[in-house]
Structure 1
Amino acid sequence: MKKIILIIVMALGISAVSLAQEDPDNGQRGNGSRIEALKIAYLTKKLNLSTDEAQKFWPIYNEYMGEIRKTRIDARQNKEGEIPTEEKLLNIRKKYNGEFGKALSSEKVNTFFKAEKEFGTVLQKELLERRMQKMDNRRPFRGN
């Protein structure tokens, strides 16, 4: 029970921090904070972290995400090509593979990177479904 409460408190703390951050593109809070909160919940479920693992993992995760965000923002601002940006992101993942290995077993580190990719796929699918629903709702009703 303590493990579950600690993980929830940590996830909420991380969510609160991300909610407080502003969107660098327009100075306002965007959907990014909600998506990040969903991602944290998804990762928490997939990784099934012990209390000790969670205490070590989440600070490393926050640093990792900070570097990922900064790289993406810099690439967008500098109109950098896709391949150089992906190379930078891969180098960050390689770096943090070792960092995460200090907090988690190699199996859980692999699970983390897989779950992170899965979350992106699940998110894209959900967004596509919502767009399709929105388009269907805009079509005029043609009843008999």
Structure 2
Amino acid sequence: MKKISILIIFFLFSLGGFAQPHKEGERLEALKIAYLTKKLNLTADEAQKFWPSYNQYMAELKKTRQEGRGGDEIEREEKLLAIRKKYQAEFSKTLSPDRSNQFFKAEKEFYQMVQKELMERRQLRQDLRQRRNDN
């Protein structure tokens, strides 16, 4: 776990401030896939079956989030939950139900690590600005 965290932090720092947003998203998605593969300990056969379902899952989430912008928040969250339930059953066809549940936990952990890293970066930038202003 420590190696994964260090690897993710290294890659997040390597994203740089001048990268194009879509490239950052691609890099972040690649990190997420690596993290989930390691966390779920996917075999080659499992990965071959799991990732196409995962891609469909992500596409449905994205579409629902985009369609729900500016609308009823509770309704949007219910739709997102329905998608997660649908794919928990789908993922359980490839993974055990416990590992399917582990996927959702690992996905949440990944996003929490990214959020923490972004907050730390923001704080560092603020500290640097403050030091420049003080001098």
TM-score by length of 2: 0.78
Pairing partner for 2:42 from 37, 49, 56:
49
Offset of 1:85 from its aligned partner?
Answer: 1.1
Pairing partner for 1:94 from 66, 85, 93:
85
Pairing partner for 1:64 from 50, 57, 61:
57
SS in 2 for 1:139: helix
Partner residue of 1:17?
A: none
Whole-Å Cα distance in 2 between the matches of residues 118 and 80 of structure 1?
Answer: 28
Partner residue of 1:135?
A: 126
SS in 2 for 1:33: helix
Offset of 1:66 from its aligned partner?
Answer: 0.4
Whole-Å Cα distance in 2 between the matches of residues 124 and 73 of structure 1?
Answer: 21
Unmatched runs of 5 consecutive residues or more in structure 1 = 1-27
What is the percentage of aligned positions where both structures have the same residue? 60
Specify which structure has the higher proportion of helix: 2
Offset of 1:30 from its aligned partner?
Answer: 5.3
SS in 1 for 2:119: helix
Whole-Å Cα distance in 1 between the matches of residues 28 and 82 of structure 2?
Answer: 24
Relative distance call for 1:45 and 1:131 in structure 2 (3 A) is same
Relative distance call for 1:30 and 1:88 in structure 2 (3 A) is farther
Unmatched runs of 5 consecutive residues or more in structure 2 = 1-20
Partner residue of 1:104?
A: 95
Partner residue of 1:121?
A: 112
Superposed CA offset, 1:94-126 (max 9, x none): 101111011111121011010011111111111
Superposed CA offset, 1:59-96 (max 9, x none): 000000000011111112xx113211111100000101
For 1:80, the aligned partner's letter is G
Is 1:40 aligned to residue 42 of structure 2? no
Whole-Å Cα distance in 1 between the matches of residues 48 and 23 of structure 2?
Answer: 28
Number of residue pairs aligned between Structure 1 and Structure 2:
114
Consecutive aligned runs of 4 or more in structure 1 exceeding 6 Å deviation: none
SS in 2 for 1:137: helix
For 2:123, the aligned partner's letter is M
RMSD between superposed Cα atoms in Å: 1.6
TM-score by length of 1: 0.74
Whole-Å Cα distance in 1 between the matches of residues 64 and 116 of structure 2?
Answer: 25
